[in-house]
Amino acid sequence: MAGSARKKRLLKSGGTGAAVAAVLALLVFLNLLSDRYYLRWDLTDSKQNSLSAETIKVLENIQEPVQIKAFLVDGRDETRKVEDLLAAYRYHNRQVDYSVIDPTRNPSEARLYDVTSEKTLILEGYGRSQTVKIPDEQKITNALHRLMESAPRRVYWLSGHGERSFEGKEPEHLKSFADALEAENCENSALNLMRGEPPRDADAIIVAAPEKPLFPEEIGWLDAFLEDGGRILVLLEPFRDGGLESFLRRHGIGISDDIVVDPFSRVMGGDYLMPMVSDYGDHEITKGFDLTSIFPMSRSLDVLDAEEASSGEAVCLAYTSEDSWAETDRAALDEARVELNTTDRKGPLCLAALVETAGPGRNPGEGLSGEAAEEGQADLENGRLAVFGDCDFASNQFLSVAGNQRFIVNTFRYLAGKSDFITVEPRRGRLESLTLSRSQGRIFFLFPVVVLPALVLLAGVWIWMRRRPK
C-alpha cells in the first residue's frame, strides 16, 4: 500500500511538473512569436505613434532585405524613441529589420562604419548603403527611398567667375545647400565651361552668383544644354548678373539693376532689404507650401510675355508684398536713404521664376544618369530653367531659416524631375483644456475623496462583522 501511494504521488507530481514545463514552454514560444508578429493600435488623436501614409507607401515597395544598424547609446529617452520608430517600420514590412549598437560599448563596430557621433543609422540594402544622422521619420523614409533608386544624379556647379563655393563653410558659401542635394541622392562636382561643353552625364547645372561675366562661348554652352533638355538653376545677386541678362531674356525672364526694398519686413522685425515672402505662384513646386521664405538683399525678376522670349512661358514662383519696390538708386542705398519714386517698380515683385523650354529634347536616356535615364524623353524632353534673384537665401547662413531650404530643394526636385521626395510633416499632440461646471467639479471631488474611501471602510466593517466569533 505504501509503495502504491508513493507511486501515485510521484506520478501526480511528475504530471504537475510536466504541465508547468509545458506552460512555460508555451509562454516562451508566445513571447518569441509576439516579438515578430503583433498588432499595434495608435489611440492618440493626432496619430503621433503611427507612420505616415507616404512612409507606408515606400515600405510597400521594398522587395529586398534592408538592414538598419542603429548606433544609439543605451538608457536614453532618444534611444527608446528611435527604437519605437524602427519597430514601426519593421511592423509594416518584415523585409526591414534593425539592430541597436551602443557605440560607447562597441567602438570597433562604430569605426567599421565610420560612425563618429551617436544617433546615427546605417541602412544597407539593394547593394548600397545610406547614412542618417539624428533620425526622424522623414530622413529614414527618404533614405529607404534612395536605397531603391538607381545611380545618383550628377549636379555640376559652374566655376571660374567668382561663384559661391559649394564646398566652403563660410556663412556666404553654399555647402549646406550642396549637402541637402546629396541627401537627395545627387553628386556635386565643379564645372569650368571654358574647357568645353558640359559633360554628357550632367543632369543639372547650378550657376551661383558669378562676380565676373561669363564668356559668350560659355553662355552658348548653357543655351545648348538647356535646349537639349538640360536643367539649370541660376542664383543671382543685386547689381551683378554675370553677363546672363541676354541669356535669361531669351528664355522669358528679365532682370534689371535694382534691389528689393520691403518696409513690411521692418514691421516683422527684419531689415527693409530682407523681403519676407509668403505669397507664392500657382505651380507644382509651391503647391501646399505655407512657410515664409526670407530673401536677404534680392534683386527683382520680370516674367516676360511669350512674344518676347524664344522659350516657353515663364511663371513666377514667389512674390513680395504690395508695399515693396525695386530700388534703382545705388547712391541712395549707399547713404542708407531709400524712398519710392517714379523710376522704381512697385510691388508685388517677382523674386523667383521658372521657365520650361520647348526645344527638341534628348533622345530617350541619352546622356542621363540615374533614374533620369529610365524616365527618358517623356520627362526630360523640355529643358527647365529656374532663376532666383538672391543667392544668400540658400547660403550656409540662411538656408535653415524659415522655409528657405524647403523652397529651394522643392525647386531643385522639380528641375531634376525628382517629384517623388517624401515630405513627412511633424505631428504634434493637441493640448485640450477640460472645463468643469461647479456640480461636475463637486462630483469629481466627492467620488474619489469621500465615496470610494467610505465604500472601502464599509466593506471592511462588513467583513469584520461576518468573521468575528459569535
Looking at the fold, whether 135 and 161 belong to one and the same domain comes out as no
SS3 letters across the chain: CHHHHHHHHHHHHHHHHHHHHHHHHHHHHHHHHHHHCCCCCCCCCCCCCCCCHHHHHHHHCCCCCEEEEEECCCCCHHHHHHHHHHHHHHHHCCCEEEEEECCCCCHHHHHHCCCCCCCEEEEEECCEEEEEECCCHHHHHHHHHHHHCCCCEEEEEECCCCCCCCCCCCCCCCHHHHHHHHCCCEEEEEECHHHCCCCCCCCEEEEECCCCCCCHHHHHHHHHHHHCCCEEEEECECCECCCCHHHHHHCCEEECCCEEECHHHHHCCCCCCCCEECEECCCCCCCCCCCCEECCCCCCEEECCHHHCCCCCCEEEEECCCCCEEECCHHHHHCCCCCCCCCCEECCCEEEEEEECCCCCCCCCCCCCCHHHHHCHHHHCCCEEEEECCCHHHCCCCCCCCCHHHHHHHHHHHHCCCCCCCCCCCCCCCCCCCCCCHHHHHHHHHHHHHHHHHHHHHHHHHHHHHHCCC
Domain range spanning residue 181? 153-415
Q: What is the pLDDT of residue 378?
A: 40
119 and 136 share one domain: yes
Q: pLDDT, tens digit, for every residue of 214-236?
A: 999 999 999 999 988 899 999 99
Last residue of a domain, one of 110, 144, 178: 144
Does a structural domain hold residue 284? yes
Strands 231-235 and 384-388 turn out to be parallel
Query: Residues 120, 138: one domain?
Result: yes
Task: Tell me, yes or no, whether 6 lies in a domain.
Answer: no
Phi/psi at 398 (5° precision): -115, -5
- pLDDT for position 42: 65
| Exposed / middle / buried, residue 439 (Cβ in 10 Å: 0-12, 13-18, 19+) | exposed
Check if the beta carbon of residue 310 is closer than 8 Å to that of residue 303: no
> Could you tell me if 373 and 201 are in contact, meaning their C-beta atoms sit under 8 angstroms apart?
no
Q: Residues 6 or more apart from 177 whose CB is under 8 A from it?
A: 166, 394, 395, 399, 405, 408
Domain check: are 295 and 397 in the same one?
Answer: yes
Domain boundary among 415, 431, 448: 415
CATH number, domain containing residue 241: 3.40.50
What pTM does this model have?
0.63
Based on the structure, what is the number of domains in the chain?
2
Residue 397 lies in a domain: yes
Say if CB 252 and CB 312 are below 8 A apart.
yes
CA distances from 383 to 62, 181, 370 (A): 32, 20, 17
- The answer to the question of residue 375 being in a domain is yes
In a domain, 469, yes or no: no
Q: Are 116 and 104 in contact (CB under 8 A)?
A: no
Q: Which of 234, 262, 242, 246 is nearest to 304 (CA)?
A: 246
Q: Does a structural domain hold residue 374?
A: yes
Closest listed residue to residue 416, CA positions, set 175, 241, 156, 145: 156
Report the chain's terminal Cα–Cα distance, integer Å. Answer: 44
Q: Are residues 247 and 124 in the same domain?
A: no
In a domain, 218, yes or no: yes
Are 189 and 292 found together in one domain?
yes
Q: What is d(CA 62, CA 98) in angstroms, rounded to the nearest whole number?
A: 15
Does 90 share its domain with 235?
no
Residue 61 shares a structural domain with residue 178: no
Which cell goes with 242? 554675370
pLDDT in 10s for each residue of the chain, 470 residues:
556 666 666 566 666 777 778 888 888 887 776 666 656 666 566 566 788 888 999 999 999 999 999 999 998 888 999 999 999 999 999 999 999 999 999 999 999 988 888 889 999 998 878 888 878 898 899 889 878 876 778 999 999 999 999 999 999 999 999 988 887 778 899 999 988 889 988 999 999 999 999 999 999 999 999 988 899 999 999 988 899 999 999 988 999 888 998 887 664 556 778 888 888 998 888 887 888 899 998 999 998 876 666 667 789 999 998 888 888 877 777 677 777 777 778 879 999 999 988 655 444 334 344 444 444 444 446 889 999 999 999 999 999 888 898 899 889 988 887 655 566 766 665 556 667 777 888 888 888 888 889 899 999 888 888 887 76
pLDDT of residue 60: 92
pLDDT of residue 469: 74
The answer to whether the Cα torsion of 367, 369, 373, 377 is positive or negative is negative
Q: Does residue 205 sit in the same domain as residue 331?
A: yes
Same domain for 279 and 324: yes
Would residue 1 count as lying in a domain? no
333, 400: one domain: yes
> Is 337 found in the same domain as 292?
yes
CATH number, residue 130: 3.40.30.10
Single out the residue in 90, 120, 144 at which a domain terminates: 144
